[in-house]
Structure 1
C-alpha cells in the first residue's frame, strides 16, 4: 500500500491531488463571504444593526472605502501614501479652491484647475506634470463606489473561488503528481 500525505489528497487536480479541498479553507471562505455581504449590501437591516453595535470595531477591521464626494483633494491621503498637499505644496498654495473634494476637481472626465495667477511658472509646471502623472494611476469615475472581488474576472464573490485561492496558498504543492486511478471514485482513491 502506498502512503500519501493528506495535504496531497486535498490539493487540486492540477497540483496532483484529488481536488477535495481543506475544511480550513472552506471555513475561511464562508467567513469571507459574510464580510463580502457586509460590504456589498449596506442597506440590509442586519448590516445596519451590526454597524450600530460594532461601529468602532468595524472601522478598524474593514477596508476604508474611497468616497470621492467627501474626500478632500489636497488634504486626504487618497492618491499614494500621503496627502497631495505634503507632496505638492507649491501647487496647493497656487490653487484657489484648496478645500474642494476629489469629485469637485474631477469634472466631465478631466481634472479642473483654477490658479491664483495665469502663469504658474516652469518649476510649478514641472510639479503639475508630476502630479498629473500620479493621477493617471488612479481610476476616477462619476459612478458610485462599489466592491468587486478580484479572484475572478467578473468581480463577483464565490465561496468556491475563495476556497481554491486559500487552498493554493496553504497546501504544499508537490512537484511530482500522484497517479490516481481515474475510473475509481475519490473515496476509494483516498483509501
Structure 2
C-alpha cells in the first residue's frame, strides 16, 4: 500500500530530522557515541556492523534519494551561533555540504569537522572566514576557490 509506505518513510525521516535538530538530547548523544566515526562524516552516522533500531532508520533515510526523495538535499542548517553546524560537512550555505561543492579546499582543511563558529568571525556586521589549511602555500586554483567561497560567505 503506497499510503502506508509514504507514512512509514515520513515517520522514519522525522527521526533523521530530530537527530539533526535535537543534538543535545540524551538519545542523540547515545546514537553519536555508538555510531559516530572520526574517519568519515555521514549526515546521519550509522555503523553497519552494529545492529539495533538506529541502523535501519538511518539507512532508510539516507537511501531515500534512490526513491527520488533526497532527504539530505532538503535539509539546510540555520547557523545561529554556529557552534552546532559543521562548516564543511553540513548543508547550511548552499544546497548540500560545502565539502561536496569545494572538494579541493576540503582536502586541504586542517580540521574537517570545524564548526561554522570556528571558521567565521563577525567583523563590522560582516562574516569573514578564518581558514586553517594544512599547507602554507595554496595553488592558483585553491586560491581562486578560497576567494570564491569567501565571497559567498560575506
Q: Work out which structure has the larger RCO, using CA pairs closer than 8 Å and 6 or more positions apart in sequence.
A: 1
Both proteins in one fold, TM over 0.5 = no
Alignment TM-score, normalising by the size of structure 2:
0.44
Alignment TM-score, normalising by the size of structure 1:
0.36
Structure (1 or 2) with the larger CA radius of gyration: 1
